[in-house]
């Protein structure tokens, strides 16, 4: 259960950060993707957060197995 909670926390924080950064990029418009802006770095960093182990697919697999009672 501890690993499942950790995975769920990672997925929640990554998804929330992605949503916040996506909104900020929409507000800032085309200037957001300029390499000279902090927002561009944040956008890139948040997007890659989904790729770090465990990636989103692995996290959702573990959470789903737990929810179905397939994990101890």
User: How does pLDDT run along the chain (72 residues), one tens digit per residue?
Assistant: 688 888 889 889 999 999 999 999 999 888 878 888 899 999 889 988 888 878 888 889 999 999 999 987
Query: Is the previous residue joined to 54 through a cis bond, with omega within 30 degrees of 0?
Result: yes
Give the side-chain half-sphere CA count within 13 A for 67: 8
Cα–Cα separations (whole angstroms), residue 60 to 33, 40, 45, 64, 65: 30, 27, 21, 6, 8
Cα–Cα separations (whole angstroms), residue 12 to 21, 32, 49, 66, 72: 14, 24, 11, 16, 22
Q: What is the pTM of this model?
A: 0.75
């Amino acid at each position: 259960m501890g690993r499942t909670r950790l995975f769920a926390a990672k997925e929640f924080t990554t998804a929330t950060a992605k949503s916040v950064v996506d909104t900020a990029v929409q507000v800032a418009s085309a200037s957001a993707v300029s390499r000279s802006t902090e927002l561009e770095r944040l956008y890139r960093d948040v997007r890659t957060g989904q790729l770090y182990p465990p990636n989103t697919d692995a996290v959702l697999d573990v959470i789903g197995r737990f929810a179905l009672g397939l994990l101890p």
